[in-house]
C-alpha cells in the first residue's frame, strides 16, 4: 500500500515527466527542417512571378497543415490543376525536357505533367505529408482510353496510406483523385522521390541502391529546389 506521501511524490514525478515530454516535443518541432519562405519569394519574383500567386500558394500550405489527409490531397491537387496552364517544355523553357521547380512553375504559371507532379509533391511535403507516403511515378498513358494502342510518357503523383496499400493518384489529366485500379489507362514504369528510386513501378519495398543520382534530371532539380529554399 502506497502512503499519501509516496502517492504525492509519484504524482509530482508523473507531472514532471509529462512536462519534460512536452518540452522535448517542442524542441524537436523547432529543429525540424522548414522552408526558407523569404528566399522562395525572392526567387519567384526574380523569375517574374507575381507576389499574389506566392501568397495564395503559402496560404494553401498553411491551411493544409491542419486538414485531414483526403482534404489535403484534394486541395493541393485542385490548386495546381486550376492555377497552372498545361504547356510543353519547348514552349515554356525552349527545351524538349525541362523539370521545373515549384517556384519556377508558379512564376511561369505554365508547365507539363512533370511540373504539375513535382509542384504537388513539394507542396505536400511542405504541408506536413511524410516523404515515405509520396512517390512520383513515371507511366505510359494510353491516349483515348485503356483499349488504345497509342501511348505517351506521362507522370503522376502517388499517395500511399501504408507501404502495401493501393496508391491514390494525383493527375493533371483528371482532377478527381482515384485509386490506381481505377486508372487502367496508365501503365507504371518506375517511381521515385527524394529518398531514392524504385524499379518496382508500384513503389513498394526498398529503393534502388543507386539512389537518385541515377536520374540526373531529378538530382539536378533537387539541388535547384534546395538552393531556392526547400527542405526535404
CATH of the domain at 90: 3.10.620.30
Which structural domain, as residue segments, surrounds residue 205? 37-228
In a domain, 22, yes or no: no
pLDDT of res. 17: 43
* 187-221 confidence digits (pLDDT tens): 999 999 999 898 765 545 556 545 666 789 999 99
Give residue-wise pLDDT tens across range 22-57. Answer: 434 433 333 335 679 999 999 999 999 999 999 999
Question: What 3-state DSSP class applies to 137?
Answer: strand
Report the pLDDT value the prediction gives residue 20, as an integer from 0 to 100: 43
Q: Which of 100, 55, 97, 98 shows the shortest CA–CA distance to 79?
A: 55
Residue 30: inside a domain: no
Grid cell 514504369 is found at 189
Contact 136, 189 (CB under 8 A): no
Confidence at residue 76, expressed as pLDDT on a 0 to 100 scale: 98
Describe the strand order of the beta sheet including 186-193 as a list of residue ranges.
Answer: 178-179, 168-170, 151-159, 134-142, 186-193, 196-198
Asked, for residue 196, whether it belongs to a domain, the answer is yes
Q: pTM score > 0.85 for this model? A: no
Helix (H) or strand (E) holding 21: helix 4-31
18: pLDDT strictly greater than 60: no
Query: For residue 22, what pLDDT is reported?
Result: 42
Q: What is the pLDDT of residues 74-125, one digit of tens each?
A: 999 999 999 999 999 999 999 999 999 999 999 999 999 999 999 999 999 9
pLDDT at 29 (0 to 100): 36
pLDDT of the residue at 224: 97
Q: How far apart are CA 82 and CA 69, in angstroms?
A: 20
For 173-182, write each residue's pLDDT tens digit: 999 999 999 9
Domain total in the chain:
1
Q: What's the gap between Cα 118 and its chain centre?
A: 7
pLDDT at residue 23, rounded to an integer: 39
Q: Which of 8-12, 64-68, 132-136 has the lowest mean pLDDT?
A: 8-12
Return the pLDDT at 198. Answer: 86
pLDDT of residue 194: 94
Residue 13 lies in a domain: no
Is residue 17 in some structural domain?
no
Maximum alpha-carbon separation in the chain: 81
Place of cell 509533391: 121
- Per the domain annotation, does 159 fall within a domain? yes
pLDDT at 148: 79
Asked, for residue 8, whether it belongs to a domain, the answer is no
Distance of alpha carbon 131 from alpha carbon 216, whole angstroms: 20
Contact 161, 133 (CB under 8 A): yes
* Inside any domain, residue 107: yes
Q: What is the pLDDT of residues 125-173, one digit of tens each?
A: 999 999 999 999 999 998 877 777 888 999 999 999 998 899 999 999 9
Amino acid at each position: 500500500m502506497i502512503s499519501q506521501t509516496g502517492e504525492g511524490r509519484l504524482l509530482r514525478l508523473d507531472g514532471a515527466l509529462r512536462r519534460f515530454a512536452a518540452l522535448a516535443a517542442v524542441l524537436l518541432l523547432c529543429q525540424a527542417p522548414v522552408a526558407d519562405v523569404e528566399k522562395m519569394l525572392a526567387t519567384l519574383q526574380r523569375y517574374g512571378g507575381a507576389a499574389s500567386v506566392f501568397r495564395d500558394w503559402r496560404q494553401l500550405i498553411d491551411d493544409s497543415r491542419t486538414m485531414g489527409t483526403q482534404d489535403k490531397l484534394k486541395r493541393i491537387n485542385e490548386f495546381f490543376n486550376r492555377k497552372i496552364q498545361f504547356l510543353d517544355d519547348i514552349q515554356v523553357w525552349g527545351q524538349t525536357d525541362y523539370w521545373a521547380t515549384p517556384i519556377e512553375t508558379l512564376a511561369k504559371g505554365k508547365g507539363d505533367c512533370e511540373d504539375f507532379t513535382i509542384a504537388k509533391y513539394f507542396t505536400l511535403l511542405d504541408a506536413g505529408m511524410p516523404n515515405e507516403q509520396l512517390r512520383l511515378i513515371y507511366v505510359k498513358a494510353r491516349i483515348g482510353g485503356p483499349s488504345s494502342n497509342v501511348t505517351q510518357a506521362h507522370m503522376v503523383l502517388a499517395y500511399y496510406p501504408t507501404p502495401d496499400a493501393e496508391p491514390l493518384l494525383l493527375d493533371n489529366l483528371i482532377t478527381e483523385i482515384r485509386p490506381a485500379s481505377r486508372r487502367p489507362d496508365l501503365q507504371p514504369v518506375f517511381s521515385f522521390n527524394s529518398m531514392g528510386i524504385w524499379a518496382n513501378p508500384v513503389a513498394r519495398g526498398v529503393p534502388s541502391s543507386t539512389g537518385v543520382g541515377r536520374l540526373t534530371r531529378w538530382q539536378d532539380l533537387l539541388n535547384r529546389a534546395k538552393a531556392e529554399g526547400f527542405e526535404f
